[in-house]
Chains A and B, each alone.
Chain A
Amino acid sequence: MVSEIDNIELRVATKEDAKNAQAEIDFILNNNGDETVTGLRDELQQCMTDNAGAFRTGESLEIAIAKVKELHKRFKNIRIKDKSKLFNTELQEAIEFGHMLDYSAFIVESAIARKESRGAHYREDFESRDDENFLKHTMAYMDDKGDIRLDYMAVKLGKHELKPRTY
């Protein structure tokens, strides 16, 4: 495990990355919309709890992805009150919320594609584990437009013998 972490190649940060991070902050500080981060976050949390919790179906996950997309759009229309550069926890929460939206999309898109049940991912419409098709890690990538592409990576099984959990 440790050696694998050592082998991860980190991309060198560019000026472009810094500019993007700055743009994200500038957008949040200066945007003058009429949505609040708290309001949007409440909606996201409720939606994810209802539709993408441990028990999910293809149908509920479609509801979730639609909501996440809607919230992504509405996030463009936020306004925060605190414009200060001192301990601006409202800015911090807004940045965090933007990332929450991205990760929600990753979670839901991956879950939609995984048509089986495994661990805490329980698809009521696919109740059993499908090692033949899904014994693999999901890798999700987001492009500039916010679209997600899925890829898969093989699982290294190690010592444990693969068998159904019957308890």
Chain B
Amino acid sequence: MSTHNINTQKVNFKVFRFNADVDYLPYYEDYTMEVTSEEVVLDILNRIKWDLDGSFSYRRSCRHGICGACAIKLNGRATLACKENMNDMIKLFGNDITLEPLSIKRAVKDMIIDKADFWQKHDAVKPYLISDIDEYPEHEHLVSPKQAEELDDADLCIQCGACHYACPVVEINDEFFGPAAFAKAYRFEADVRDEAGTERLTEMHKEAQGVWDCVKCFECAEACPKDINPIGKITKLHLMLFDKGLATSTVASRHAVGFKNSIAKHGMLDEGTLVLYSEGPSIIKHIPVALQMFRKGKIVLPWNMPKSDNLDEIQKLVKSSSTAKF
């Protein structure tokens, strides 16, 4: 017999409840349960439904971390319910656990949300291989292991929505594609067989919806239960935009390029010049705050701009190491 001990401990669950058909407002139901060290979060959802309240509703299917149906938020943390062990969650948050849907404003019933926006964004990035293929090929289209590595695990996405609804920009800006759609777009952009190239990539450059609106908070990297690191793909899409010459001159692209210019000149960033270079004539809107900052000693005038020591080294390296063009 195994001597492995199964520990149990008391956990207080505060569970989001809402039925869009009958409730005006959501409410929270409290359940106190003995939780064993073997249980995953999905076991708790099942026990609430099966033992305590049959009307409690959530999505579930595979129970093996591959269908992506059961993602919820646990104390604000995007969580694939079938993957996370309850003990780990208790270690992280203590014995008071709040269970909520991935997005409260999209709640339909308890843990179930309307994921329509997720799927619209997913569809909008042309999430399929675009290629003129020979209908009667004489041999396989070979992809070498090295070429396959370029996908960087983007193909492991299970479309659970954890990153999408962890993204603060998705919450604010309805047009923003969101991390899952970007990871998907990258998955095909990085595929050597794909021929859509610029067609899909151009969409990534557009204001409001595209990669430039990413706030770089890394919430998506943290949320992803498959460790896909969506923001890493977003960065790669940025680089592809410059690489393929699709990054037209916008405030966002100039903002990225401006760093190089400034480093080449001062080693350090020249904050004022960066804003001027990025914004162009629109700089005018920053003037009221800039004046306030100036009065508080927060703006260094051009002739006092600090420079890095050994600036010649930096300038040499910028020249010899830089490959990007704009």
- Direct A–B touching, Cβ under 8 Å: yes
Question: Size range of the interface on B?
Answer: 10 to 19
Segment touching A, from B52-60, B83-91, B265-273, B280-288 = B52-60
The residue in B19, B55, B58, B109 that gathers the most chain A C-beta atoms within 10 A of its C-beta is: B55
B120 CB → nearest A CB, Å: 20
The residue in B21, B22, B50, B53 that gathers the most chain A C-beta atoms within 10 A of its C-beta is: B50
Say whether B49 faces chain A, with CB atoms less than 8 Å apart: yes
Residues of the A chain whose Cβ atoms lie less than 8 Å from the Cβ of B109: 84, 86-87
Asked if B54 contacts A37 (CB within 8 A), the reply is: yes
A81 to B51, CA, bound (A): 12
Asked if A87 contacts B54 (CB within 8 A), the reply is: no
Say whether B300 faces chain A, with CB atoms less than 8 Å apart: no
Which residue of B20, B22, B53, B108 contacts A81 across the interface (Cβ within 8 Å)?
B53
Say whether A110 faces chain B, with CB atoms less than 8 Å apart: no
Asked if B112 contacts A87 (CB within 8 A), the reply is: yes
Asked if A90 contacts B49 (CB within 8 A), the reply is: yes
Which residue of A38, A81, A85 contacts B21 across the interface (Cβ within 8 Å)?
A85
Residues of the A chain whose Cβ atoms lie less than 8 Å from the Cβ of B20: 86
With A87-B108, A87-B109, A87-B112 in contact, is A38–B19 under 8 Å at CB? no
The residue in A85, A86, A89 that gathers the most chain B C-beta atoms within 10 A of its C-beta is: A89
Asked if A82 contacts B112 (CB within 8 A), the reply is: no
B269 CB → nearest A CB, Å: 52
Say whether A104 faces chain B, with CB atoms less than 8 Å apart: no
Q: In residues 188-219 of chain B, which contact A (Cβ within 8 Å)? A: none
Residues of the B chain whose Cβ atoms lie less than 8 Å from the Cβ of A86: 19-21, 108-109
Say whether A80 faces chain B, with CB atoms less than 8 Å apart: yes
Residues of the A chain whose Cβ atoms lie less than 8 Å from the Cβ of B58: 89
A85 to B55, CA, bound (A): 11
A37 to B58, CA, bound (A): 17
With A84-B19, A86-B19, A86-B21 in contact, is A38–B51 under 8 Å at CB? yes
A44 CB → nearest B CB, Å: 14
Asked if B108 contacts A38 (CB within 8 A), the reply is: no
Asked if A90 contacts B108 (CB within 8 A), the reply is: no
Asked if B55 contacts A90 (CB within 8 A), the reply is: yes
A84 to B23, CA, bound (A): 11
Q: Which residue of B lies closest to A79 (CB)?
A: B54
B170 CB → nearest A CB, Å: 23
Say whether A77 faces chain B, with CB atoms less than 8 Å apart: no
With A38-B50, A38-B51 in contact, is A89–B57 under 8 Å at CB? yes
B233 CB → nearest A CB, Å: 32
Q: In residues 81-105 of chain A, which contact B (Cβ within 8 Å)? A: 81-82, 84-90
Residues of the B chain whose Cβ atoms lie less than 8 Å from the Cβ of A37: 54
Asked if A84 contacts B49 (CB within 8 A), the reply is: no
Asked if A84 contacts B22 (CB within 8 A), the reply is: yes
Q: Which residue of A lies closest to B53 (CB)?
A: A81
Asked if B57 contacts A81 (CB within 8 A), the reply is: no
A to B CB contacts below 8 Å, 8 in the list:
A81-B53, A81-B55, A82-B57, A84-B21, A86-B19, A86-B20, A86-B108, A89-B49
Listed in ascending order, the chain B residues whose CB lies under 8 Å from chain A are 19-22, 49-51, 53-55, 57-58, 108-109, 112
Listed in ascending order, the chain A residues whose CB lies under 8 Å from chain B are 36-38, 80-82, 84-90
